[in-house]
A = this chain, B = another copy of it.
Amino acid sequence: MKATIKDIARALGVSIATVSRALTGSYEVNVETKERVLAKARELHYKPNIQARNLLKRKNNMIGVVVPEFITFFFPEIIIGIQEVMNNAGYQVLICQSNESSELERKNVEMLEESMVEGLIISVAKESKNIALYQRLINEQMPIVFINRVLPDLEASQVIIDDRKWAFKAVEHLIKCGYKRIAHLAGNEHLSVTQRRVQGYTDALKAYDMPVQDKLIMYVGIQQDRAKVGVNYLLSLKEKPDAIFAVNDPIAIGTILELRKRGIKVPEEIAVVGFSESPTGRILELSSVAQPTFKIGHVAAEMLLNKINKPGIPVETVVLDAQLNIRSSSIPIHKKNKGPS
């Protein structure tokens, strides 16, 4: 059986209070007895029972994280950012993935609630219907920070990037390269990032006096295999696009592969730009908007700690900076003879 504070006390003929004081070090206790206690603790392989302490302190130093997936680099990097801050603050992080399922997301959040985590960092599934759940948690004073993907109708703290602005910049880049018929493969229609990136796309076209054509926008989704249907559609148009702005890197990558399969050269015939730069995208020389993943994690974690330590702190939205990285999937039209395969 595991040794407890009582075993040490009994073995030394002192009270458990003295043992506790010796072990925690905080209180007044004779140096010599302290030594004896520590020695006996080592001898008995004593490990404090954290649950007893937690019960007393009404804390458990755990927070929960729910993300739609952690297969691709994006959320894993954010999570590492979260853990760096949280572990430093003495917290453990329970990580769950909803696998883009609203139902599993709900189950995960409820599991975390049952585990009595002190706070939550959440990025919602693409079809999340859990507003009521989050609203209840917020009402019950559960500290929550949303990252990247947020629910539009929920008043909660968030860490995001300016999707509209960076979609604008990506499309502006294509315009400046000389592309004339720029299509957009958009994500799931009611996902907030989708909406903001579509907005950036149309805003950029308008800003440069180019026509915004509904038929050049298709809502395909956010997973790589969904790119195919988008490419099929765009290539079936009478006037085909000469550039495609994809809602994210997976769709952009799927697009490039699908175009290649049909023998269409990127960027010679069609240029492609992605969003949320990924390692695979980098390898394919895909231009993309890079998000500051680790920083998102850091900032979200710090905001959460703040909420935990100062209950009732007001809701806050932090908008982080991003970066457009231009690679050879989108080069100026007049240089195209020099482009890579």
A55 interface residue per 8 A CB criterion: yes
A-B CB contact pairs (8 Å), 7 listed: A47-B113, A47-B116, A50-B114, A51-B60, A70-B70, A83-B96, A92-B94
Partner of A55, one of B55, B111, B257: B55
Stretch at the interface among A203-211, A231-239, A277-285: A277-285
Contact digits for A106-150, partner B, Cβ 8 Å, 1 yes 0 no = 000001011110000000000000000000000010000000000
A contact residues vs B (CB 8 Å cutoff):
45, 47-52, 54-55, 60, 70-73, 76-77, 79-80, 83, 87, 92-97, 111, 113-116, 140, 253, 257, 279-280, 283-284, 341
CB–CB B55/A283 < 8 A: no
Question: Nearest Cβ in chain B — how far from A72, in angstroms?
Answer: 7
Q: Tell me which residues across on chain B come within 8 A of A111, comparing CB atoms.
A: 87, 92
Q: How far is the CA of A238 from the CA of B66 in the complex (A)?
A: 54
A340 and B49 CA atoms in complex are apart in Å by 61
> For A47, A76, A83, A111, which residue has the most chain B Cβ atoms within 10 angstroms?
A76
Q: A51-B116, A70-B70 are in contact. Are A140 and B257 (CB under 8 A)?
A: no
Choose among B50, B96, B116 the residue that contacts A116 (Cβ–Cβ < 8 A).
B50
Tell me if A97 and B72 are in contact (CB < 8 A). no
A47 proximity list for chain B (CB < 8 A): 113-114, 116
